[in-house]
Amino acid sequence: MKILSAVIALVAGVVLSALGASSLQIVRFIEVSAGPLHRRNAIVPFSLPRGTADTYTLRDEKGAMLPLQVDETGRAVFIIPELAANITRKYQLIDRKNTAKGVEAVRDGGLLKLRADGRELIAYRADEGREPPEAKPVFRRGGYIHPIHSPSGTVISDDYPPNHWHHHGVWFAWTRTEFEDRKPDFWNVGDGTGRVDFVALDKSWGGPVHAGFRSRHHYVDLGGGAEKTALDEVWEVAAYAAGRGHTMFDLIATQECATANPLILPEYRYGGMGFRGHRQWDGKDNAFFLTSEGKTRADGHATRARWCRISGRIDGKLYSIAILDHPENFRAPQPMRIHPTEPFFNFAPSLMGDWRINPGEPYISRYRYVVFDGEPDPAELDRLWNDYAKPPQVRTLTK
């Protein structure tokens, strides 16, 4: 019996060491603290032990239920409807599958569409889009987001605009670069020195709180005879069931050197994450820009801001998109390219001087996009940015 007990103890010790003590404890409750900010429809992320079941629902002290979504890594997300400043609320984790339809990812040919309660939010072009007949084949590409819908269903983004065939809804590319002894331009692909290729859609998902996908792209240098990949890029995108007041989605782009050589990025006025607005927004007087620092199209270019709002009319009605810059981004708050006549916007860190992406040092960009019918005021955008940059804090409890 003593030998058996010793064996059991030894095995338990090995398991405990391998898994970690915290992963063997079952989280029963969480405490959510608003901090000094009033929260409304705030997205709340936190971590649970890896392998936690994804069938939980949250129940507050009054019995109200909230859907909770947990992925295979233990990343948990829910949306808290309201939490006053300096208030802490306790929730119990109930082992119950939430039956709310929530958000879904649906493949439709070359598009992956993200929908909430049947309403289309955004779509990802998961292969090379079909360029218009009048555009040269060199402009064909995949790996971008379009269309982007307002809460009422109006498309507010553009794709292959005639004056810039290489603009696509939300896309990512670098303009002035140096790689090895060449200078590929991954943005102005018509020059034929570089391009960005869609590689694979690795994963998509849906759930009661968010739907999304993970995809891969290559930044291909075309100037050295044989094509050579300079950067590998991974996108992680999540669109949320954040109510009908706005459409909201997050984009995290991770770029890594594909060789032992860096990608050097000299100072330049644009390059990075780009947004192209609706074709009816084209023209100096048809799109309106406002930044978190109160700058407009007239004086906002090359300034830095936490967010930028772009608005315009489509068939006579006003729509807006706000692009929020995460405080952990390189050179945050990042400088901006605001085009003087076109509905084009770009957070452009290269505006602040030369820099580089080095081998073994992933470059990570994080942005949140919020789309509105109408034009939200700056106070609402400040509130949304605060929820994004400084979300409510969560403490997990085992009893």
1 within domain boundaries: no
Report which residue type is found at 57: T
pLDDT reported for residue 47 = 95
Domain end residue (candidates: 54, 82, 99)? 99
Judging by DSSP bridges, how do beta strands 272-276 and 170-173 pair with one another?
antiparallel
363 plus 214 within the same structural domain: yes
125 within domain boundaries: yes
> What token pair was written down for 125?
């072009």
360 within domain boundaries: yes
pLDDT reported for residue 51 = 73
53 plus 135 within the same structural domain: no
Q: Is the dihedral of CA 131, 134, 136, 137 positive or negative?
A: positive
By the 10 Å C-beta count (0-12 exposed, 13-18 middle, 19+ buried), 388 is classed as buried
Tell me if the bond preceding 333 is cis, omega within 30° of 0. Answer: yes
317 plus 254 within the same structural domain: yes
127 plus 109 within the same structural domain: yes
Residue from 290, 287, 310, 288 nearest 300 by CA = 290
222 plus 245 within the same structural domain: yes
29 plus 92 within the same structural domain: yes
Report which residue type is found at 317: K
Q: Which domain holds residue 144?
A: 103-389
7 within domain boundaries: no
Domain end residue (candidates: 80, 99, 118)? 99
52 within domain boundaries: yes
pLDDT reported for residue 13 = 39
Backbone Cα Rg of the chain: 23
Q: How many domains does the chain have?
A: 2
49 plus 112 within the same structural domain: no
| Residues in the chain where the model's pLDDT stays below 70 | 1-25, 53-54, 98-100
b/e string for 246-262 if b means 16 or more Cβ within 10 A?
bbbbbbebebbbbeeeb
162 plus 78 within the same structural domain: no
Record the pTM.
0.92
90 within domain boundaries: yes
pLDDT reported for residue 99 = 65
44 plus 167 within the same structural domain: no
> What token pair was written down for 249?
């989605």
138 within domain boundaries: yes
**Domain CATH for 327:** 2.70.98
35 plus 162 within the same structural domain: no
Domain end residue (candidates: 81, 99, 117)? 99
65 plus 147 within the same structural domain: no
**Domain CATH for 42:** 2.60.40
143 plus 167 within the same structural domain: yes
∠ Cα 315 321 325 (to 5°): 165
8 within domain boundaries: no
